[in-house]
Amino acid sequence: MFYGVCGEHEKNKEAFLMKLDGVYYPLNDSISWLTTCMEEMKQDIARIQHATDVARPPSIDKR
């Protein structure tokens, strides 16, 4: 029983610290979110460029 109480206390402590980080470091959360969005956009751009390169016929003007 004692272990269960301590384990629950640790979970609550971790949840509390995560909430505390969100209060004291909101800019860090925003930067992380923006970084994630930028990485996803880079992947999307690469996929689109690859798809258009495959579908595009070779140009007769290429020298």
| Domain boundaries of the chain, sorted by first residue | 24-54
d(C-alpha 15, C-alpha 33), whole Å: 20
Per residue in 1-28, pLDDT tens?
444 555 566 677 777 777 766 666 666 6
Residues 15, 12: Cα–Cα separation, whole Å = 5
Contact status, residue 29 vs residue 22, Cβ threshold 8 Å: yes
pLDDT at 40: 95
* Tokens encoding 30: 């925003």
**Does the reported pTM lie above 0.85?**
no
Q: How far apart are CA 9 and CA 2, in angstroms?
A: 11
pLDDT confidence of residue 23: 67
pLDDT at position 9 is 60
Average pLDDT of the residues of the chain? 76
